[in-house]
Amino acid sequence: MAAAPSEPPKTDAPLHVAIVMDGNGRWAKRRGLPRSLGHRAGVEALKRTVAVAPELGIKWLTVFGFSTENWSRPAAEVSELMALPKRYFESDLARLEREGVRVRCWGRRQGLSADLVKMLTDAEARTAHNEVFNLNIAFNYGGQADIVDAARRFAEEVAAGRADPADLNEAVFTQHLSTGAAPPPDMIIRPSGEQRLSNFLLWEAAYAEFIFQDVLWPDFNAEHLKAAIEEYRRRDRRYGGAAADDVLAAG
Ligand code: IPE
Ligand code: MG
């Protein structure tokens, strides 16, 4: 929830950083490699980012792995993208579990293979007791789809007599989203030079700071993350309130 303007949130508070992992294809193309190798290099960038994030005051890290719109890519590329969670969890899940990282997988399970659903569900279950750090992987996720699914869930509760339409408010709606357990993102980083949200965290991004960087995701490293946080710290977050100086001047 947004803080009242008289109590600006501390900009040194633990951060929720969300990242649109973009630019894998261009990274591969520049090297004359198949796009699949760009996606694999993207997984390495994810590993680096997860490793360094806790040291930078980040408590929540959310990454966009596969969007509900990515199904329109060629079948071979979709298969490669579908194989990435396995690639990542096989090499890293045991360590995440040991180091206190809680993994959540956001997005629709429908449309994913039974194996993949099991893998995502297992990763969540194995780390459900962890609380040092939170890693959310948005996979088969779309902001609009998630809002529609939340609306459907609430409507089903009403139809079953378990909820009353008069009780619906922003907080209740948020709880029905697949992202509901997390605080809203403080900043959304998009590398690769593209400057759009692409259906990521539409509801949750209401007061997020946007940071666009000219680096392709497979080249993303700790320095890019530090630079993004430094830029974020310089921003004046107002949540619809007035700037602190103007409030003083208005007396
Ligand atoms: C991000 O890289 C991976 C996903 C969207 C799943 P891209 O594949 O979008 O890379 P570009 O945009 O073609 O460079
Ligand atoms: Mg892209």
Q: What is the pLDDT of residues 11-65, one digit of tens each?
A: 566 799 999 999 999 999 999 999 999 999 999 999 999 999 999 999 999 999 9
pLDDT of residue 2: 46
Smallest CA-to-CA distance from 20 within 208, 178, 183 is with 208
Q: Spell out the SS3 assignment of the chain.
A: CCCCCCCCCCCCCCEEEEEECCCHHHHHHHCCCCHHHHHHHHHHHHHHHHHHHHHHCEEEEEEEEEECCHHHCCHHHHHHHHCHHHHHHHHHHHHHHHCCEEEEEECCCCCCCHHHHHHHHHHHHHCCCCCCEEEEEEEEECHHHHHHHHHHHHHHHHHCCCCCHHHCCHHHHHHHCCCCCCCCCCEEEECCCCCCCCCCCCCHHHHCEEEECCCCHHHCCHHHHHHHHHHHHHCCCCCCCCCHHHHHHHC
pLDDT for res 248: 66
**Regions in the chain scoring below 70 on pLDDT:** 1-13, 244-245, 247-251
Q: According to the model, what pLDDT value does residue 237 have?
A: 87
Q: Is 81 in the pocket of ligand 1 (CB under 6 A)?
A: yes
Whole-number Å distance between alpha carbons of 188 and 6: 25
Q: Give the chain's domains with CATH numbers.
A: 16-141+184-238 (3.40.1180.10)
Could you tell me the pTM of the whole model? 0.93
Please give the positions annotated as active site.
22, 70
Pocket test for ligand 1, best of 140, 192, 196, 215 (most atoms within 8 A of CB): 192
Q: Which ligand is in closest contact with the Cα of 35?
A: 1
- The residue whose C-alpha atom lies closest to atom 13 belonging to ligand 1 is 25
The pLDDT of residue 56:
95
- Find the ligand nearest to 38 CA: 1
**pLDDT at position 1:** 45
